[in-house]
Amino acid sequence: MNNNPLNGPKYLLRGIGIIARPRLRRFVLIPLLINMVLFAGLLWVMFLGMEWLAGEMGAWLPDWLDWLTYLLWPVYVIAGLLLPVFGFVVVGNLIASPFNGLLAEAVEQELTGRPISGASGWRALAAEIGRTIRSELRKLGYTAVRAIPILILLLIPGLNVIGSMLWLVFGAWLMAIQYADYPMGNHGISFPEQRATLARARLLSMGFGGSVMFLMMIPLINFIAMPASVAAATALWVDEFSKSELPPPD
């Protein structure tokens, strides 16, 4: 299995090309519309969040350390960008998860020329809603347990620099988990097995997740982030993970 982190961004670029194929456009439409509406709200929340975070951190500093506020602006920017992005990922994927699963199925069939065994297509959408929402809730619990300590670090002057770096690393891992779930879930692979599989090529997974996170922070281009990431994760599954033996769950 290729574990080169630089291949992660290559898969994301490939995913952008995949969703432009005529046979897949109808599967992209609903995730794309959900993305556009949520990102409009994201931009508003992002600017409000940066202003609030800067005020909160500044209030913790004594007057004679006010000059540190300027040095902490990079932390404000990272937190102000990433916190809304994670909020978007949680809400957006919870709403769009059944359609993302359907998109992953269509992309896999496009890439391999073989349909996924079992129920498929729009008729299977109703059956998929329950499974995908349960999967999103499992990911939400996994995220919350690990994100809360990092968020606490972000609010502590001095330690917030470490918190920002941890947030970047955790964010890349979370994006890989989030989008790899759609193609893997279509094959009945459980959430623990998914994490163990991604960990076997952690650098590749982190490279992919980091590039997804970066794409989500680019105005206008981020509208296509969700469907492109689903397509890219499916291509990654087809090329790399589906050909390797699944590890035991943690």
Please give the Cα distance from 78 to 171 (Å, whole number).
12
- What pLDDT, on a 0 to 100 scale, did the predictor assign at position 104? 92
Alpha-carbon distance values, 32 to 20, 97, 135 (Å): 12, 12, 21
- What pLDDT, on a 0 to 100 scale, did the predictor assign at position 226? 87
- Mind listing the pLDDT tens digit of every residue in the chain (250 residues)? 678 889 999 999 999 999 999 989 888 888 888 777 777 666 666 666 555 655 655 565 556 555 555 555 555 555 555 555 666 666 667 777 778 888 999 999 999 988 776 555 555 556 666 677 777 788 888 888 888 888 788 777 677 778 778 888 998 999 999 999 999 988 889 899 999 999 999 999 999 999 998 888 777 787 888 899 999 999 999 999 987 655 554 4
Q: What angle do CA 218, 80, 34 make, to 5 degrees?
A: 50
Amino acid letter, residue 45 = V
Please give the Cα distance from 51 to 47 (Å, whole number).
6
Sorted by where each begins, the domain ranges of the chain are: 7-243
pTM recorded for the entire structure:
0.77
- What pLDDT, on a 0 to 100 scale, did the predictor assign at position 195? 93
- What pLDDT, on a 0 to 100 scale, did the predictor assign at position 19? 93
